[in-house]
Every structure is written in structure tokens, then in C-alpha cells.
Amino acid sequence: MTYAKTAFFTQEQQQLARVAKALAHPARVAIVQLLASKTTCISGDIAAELPLSRTTVAQHLQELKALDLIRGEIDGLTVCYCLNTELLRRVHQQFTAFFIEATTSATCGPDSACAC
């Protein structure tokens, strides 16, 4: 029987992986960018802005909301979505630290000799 070995990784590594997975779909990237350009957004408006059906957009919104990257508030028959900017700032800092660490160590490149 196989099982996930996520317990062997730090909480930060697990969070970065979850966010990277959520943002691995261009529709979700577009939704985040759309919400960033507005203060709030109604789910119907999001579907009108993307070349996707309303049902598909709703599924992508659920994925983003499950990670708390976006927040939604029911207002009558509509749901108003906005970005969780606090979490996005924290994730931004984590990704920045990750990429700084990954790019400042000795690496192979087109102009350097690889030690492999």
C-alpha cells in the first residue's frame, strides 16, 4: 500500500507545493490576476471575463478557495470573491526566498562547466 510522505517535508515546503499546484492551471492564474485588478468580484463576472463556462470557473474558484488564496462571501444569490492578500504576501516571501536560495548556489548553465 502506498501513502503520501508529505510528513517528511516542512510545512513551508508543503505550502509552497500546494500553492504551486493550484497556480499550475492558466485559468487559476487568470482568476487571481483578475481579482488583483479589482477590489471584489462576483463569480458571474469572472466567468464573463474568461473563455470558460461558468461551471468550469466555479470549479477553479473552489480550488483557490480551498487553499484560502481567495475568499468568498455569499450576498443573496451571488458570491463575491476577493484575494487573501495576507496569505499571498506570505507565499510571495516564501517563493522569493526559495528562488533566491535556488539561484545563488553553484549551478550549471550554458556558459559554465557542469560538475555532473
pLDDT digits (tens, 9 = 90+) for 49-87: 899 998 899 899 999 999 999 998 777 777 889 999 999
What are the residue boundaries of the structural domains of the chain, listed by start?
9-96
> What dotted CATH number matches 9-96?
1.10.10.10
Q: How confident is the model at residue 99 (pLDDT cuts 50, 70, 90)?
A: very high
pLDDT digits (tens, 9 = 90+) for 19-53: 999 999 999 999 999 999 987 777 777 888 899 99
Residue 31 grid cell: 482568476
Using CB atoms within 10 A of its CB, is residue 52 exposed (0-12), middle (13-18) or buried (19+)? middle
Q: How confident is the model at residue 106 (pLDDT cuts 50, 70, 90)?
A: low
The model scores a pTM over 0.75? yes
